[in-house]
Amino acid sequence: MHHPDICIAGAGIIGLSLALELHHRGHRVTVLDQGDPLAEASTAAAGMLAAQDPDNPPQLRPLADLSLSLYPAFLDRLYNFSAIRVPFQTHTTLQSLHPKHNSPNELTPADLTAEDLSHLLPALTPTGHRFILLDEHSLDPRQLAAALLAAVHSTTIDLRPNTSLLSTRSTSNSIEIITATGTVHSSRFVDCTGAWATTTSRLSHLQIAPRKGQMVAVALPPSLPLHFVVRTPDIYIVPRTTGPAAGRAIIGATIEDSGFDKSIHPDDIHHLRALAAALLPPIANTPQLEAWSGLRPATPDGLPLLGALPGDPNHLIATGHYRNGILLAPATALVMAQLLSNETPSVDLTSFSPGRAVPQTA
């Protein structure tokens, strides 16, 4: 019987990126998923690599910066395995800030063209916010998913879709992973099941909860060749500038505590479109192309869980990335692979320890 070195539950962006990193290091890897690979939050995201987002917890910044530094090599690896090139869609973000925030990158008219400013004039009027420009990339998560899945399929990674994880049992030097189709015996186990991790992680003191986000894609009018992201604390508009989705913009997203309900509500979509139109009036009446939702895995302190479960060095977890799964995938893959290889992680993981004490929300 095949006994992997490492078994991963969850074939999303985190799980498959980790599997590819472990394969690169010579490990035998099995990946289980309760449904289809990359079918949940990984392809529901907007794709902003928002390491500088002022709403991110400050403890996240070292891991986010590491991930940004790894992204070019990560995309090159995917291309080498899959022959699918994943391009960056944008390279700049226009970020609205509350007055309390400080930044050296104040927006001046010279930073954007006259055409850009004419489209953004309503957003640049005094509204209690001010704007800065961020050197920030975005990509299309659907393109990323296609390349990642093709890359995994080109390797000896044992990917098992439609294989629900039921429970795990640790022994002295291995772990049994009980699934709906049988038992997998592995030296180590990593839970990358995202919003579903609470049911399998045994982390009674630190819950992972789904946070629903509804989103909508609209067609950009020919008069608005948007080439940068627009983001406020309430809304973001992310254009697709190249590839099969070029000419559309992604508008998002709601943040809802709705359990695992992924239904779409027209009133919420209308509200998102109204917020976006207040920033960019030319998209007020453009055709709606698609609406969908995803479930972000959230922790009480907004930080991911990265490392071994307390008292169980063979059972690790990598989840809770909330809104930054796409951004943090390369760094998460690296630091988790370093832990599994008994190496010192490239960044201090204390803030992300599964054993950390976190005040519970009401």
Predicted confidence (pLDDT) at residue 154 exceeds the cutoff of 90: yes
Which pTM does this prediction carry? 0.91
Return the pLDDT at 6: 97
Mean pLDDT for 344-357 is 93
- Write the CA distances from 90 to 27, 139, 220, 234, integer angstroms: 35, 7, 15, 20
Range(s) of the chain covered by CATH 3.30.9.10: 90-137+210-296
Tell me where in the chain the CATH 3.50.50.60 domain(s) lie.
6-80+142-208+300-352
Amino acid 356: pLDDT: 87
Average pLDDT of the chain is: 90
DSSP, res 359? P
Class of domain 6-80+142-208+300-352: alpha beta
Quote the Cα angle for 205-207-210, to 5°.
175
Cα–Cα separations (whole angstroms), residue 36 to 43, 209, 260: 12, 21, 17
What's the pLDDT at 234? Answer: 92
Q: How confident is the model at residue 357 (pLDDT cuts 50, 70, 90)?
A: low
Q: What is the pLDDT of residue 99?
A: 53
**Does residue 362 register a pLDDT over 90?**
no
99-118 pLDDT, tens digit per residue, is 555 544 444 444 556 566 55
Class of domain 90-137+210-296: alpha beta
Q: Does 251 have pLDDT greater than 50? A: yes
For residues 355 and 30, the model is more confident at 30
Query: What is the predicted pLDDT for the residue at 261?
Result: 94
